[in-house]
Amino acid sequence: MLKAEQNLTKNLLKNICQESSIFKGGVNMPKISVIGICGNSVFMYADHFHEPGETLVADSVYEEIGGKGINQAIAAKRMGAEVSFLCAVGDDENGKKCIQTLKENNINAYCKTKNGKSTPLAFILTDKNGENRVTVHKSAQLSAKDVISFENEIASSDVLLLQQEVPDEVNETAVKLAEKHNVRVILNPAPIRNISDEMSGKIFAVTPNEQEMQAIETDHFKNCITTVGKKGCVINNSEAVPGIEVKVVDTTGAGDTFNGVLAVCIAEGMDLKEACRYAVTASGISVGRKYVLNAIPHREETERKMKNE
Q: 205-241 pLDDT, tens per residue? A: 999 999 999 888 878 899 999 999 999 999 999 999 9
| Residue 5 maps to a domain | no
Q: What is the mean pLDDT of the chain?
A: 90
| Residue 203 maps to a domain | yes
| Residue 167 maps to a domain | yes
Reference 82, options 35, 27, 32; nearest CA is 32
Structurally, how many domains does the chain consist of? 1
Can you say whether the dihedral through the CA atoms of 31, 35, 38, 44 is positive or negative?
negative
Active site residues: 256
Q: How many CB atoms lie within 10 A of CB 67?
A: 26
User: Which strands form 225-227's sheet, in the order they lie side by side?
Assistant: 225-227, 233-235, 239-241
Element (H, E) at 254: helix 254-267
Q: Would you state the pLDDT for residue 7?
A: 46
Residues 6+ apart with CB under 8 A from 210: 226, 227, 228, 229
| Residue 4 maps to a domain | no
Cross-strand pairs, 66 = 39
Q: Would you state the pLDDT for residue 3?
A: 45
User: Which DSSP symbol is given to 88?
Assistant: E
| Residue 281 maps to a domain | yes
pTM of the model: 0.88
| Residue 7 maps to a domain | no
Low-confidence ranges of the chain (pLDDT < 70): 1-27
Q: Would you state the pLDDT for residue 27?
A: 54
| Residue 302 maps to a domain | yes
Q: In CATH, what number is assigned to the domain containing residue 111?
A: 3.40.1190.20
Rounded CA-CA distance 185/128 in Å is 36
The strand pair at 60-66 and 205-206 is best described as unpaired
Cis peptide bond upstream of 52, omega within 30: no
Q: Would you state the pLDDT for residue 293?
A: 95
Domain of residue 283 covers 31-49+57-308
| Residue 239 maps to a domain | yes
The type of residue at 210 is E
